[in-house]
Amino acid sequence: MEQFVIHKIVSFPPVVIAGVPVDLSITNSVATMIFAAAVISVFFLLTSAGKVVPGRWQAFGEILYDLIDKGMTGPMIGDRGRPFLPYIFALFSIIAVMNIWGIVPGQFTVTSQLAVTISLAVVTFALVIIIGFLRNGLGFFKLFVPSGVHWVMLLLVVPIEVISFCVRPVTLSMRLFGNMIGGHVVLYMFGSFIVALATFALTQGGLAYLGFVGSALSLGMVIALSALELIVAFLQAFVFAALACTYLSDVVNLDHGH
């Protein structure tokens, strides 16, 4: 599990904030996130030419923009979702880049760290709660009271709705974390089979040469799983952003749905 271990690259003395020492050293996790932010910034610079006849980079940027605008915020939140387009676009972009970069051999997968996925989920739900109160005031609590339900059933339904809302950050973060760490563990296992079986065949000889067959099959599995991981990396970014849209829609359109 060494591929998931966080280690310092550049050490800085701790900074005391409100009496609490905060370590601001640059770790492999921080460096990867800085790199992802830089990649996204460069990508936006390349795709923001605004030409009438778009080039390749601008066309690709417009495809991604339409994916978020016409595939998420528009259908899921409606006309009220346009103000949240920048946040959802940024959320999708940063998760997708970090996921895809983690597939490169020898690179650190930031989204395999639960602290990172929880942070993204907490920021998203903080936004949901803030928008919920700003738009609806105390009417925000209608989110936990489904319309048309008998008051007796509400005694059971309301606690379930509250618990369901409170565990959403956990499920949102665990889904991304579990998919990324699980895929990389499986890739590592099959990668170790390639070396172990080939080494066994070379050192033992005889029937042990059949180990080359297992090694070749493991190599094929690594190639197939790498392709699958690439799809999963993009899909998990899409799912995270789509669920964020769903949760925002609950509070933005609360007056329509309740």
The closest of 243, 242, 224 to 183, measured between CA atoms, is: 224
pLDDT of residue 122: 93
Domain that holds residue 184: 2-257
Q: Which residue has the higher pLDDT, 246 or 51?
A: 246
Number of domains in the chain: 1
Which H, E and C letters describe 130-196, residue by residue?
HHHHHHHHHHHHHHHCCCCCCHHHHHHHHHHHHHHHHCHHHHHHHHHHHHHHHHHHHHHHHHHHHHH
Q: Mean pLDDT over residues 236-247, rounded?
A: 92
Mean predicted lDDT score pLDDT of the chain? 85
pLDDT computed for residue 136 by the predictor: 85
pLDDT at 9: 87
pLDDT at residue 185 in the model: 83
Point out the least confidently predicted range of 112-116, 123-127, 241-245.
Answer: 112-116
Q: Which of 30, 31, 25, 27 is nearest to 12 (CA)?
A: 25
- Where does residue 19 fall: left (phi above 0), alpha (psi -120 to 50 degrees), or beta otherwise? left
Q: Which two tokens stand for residue 70?
A: 């016409």
pTM of structure: 0.85
pLDDT digits (tens, 9 = 90+) for 58-101: 888 888 888 888 888 888 888 888 889 999 999 999 999 999 88
Model confidence pLDDT, tens digit, residues 12-55: 888 888 888 888 888 888 888 999 999 999 988 888 776 777 77
Q: What percent of the chain has pLDDT over 70?
A: 96
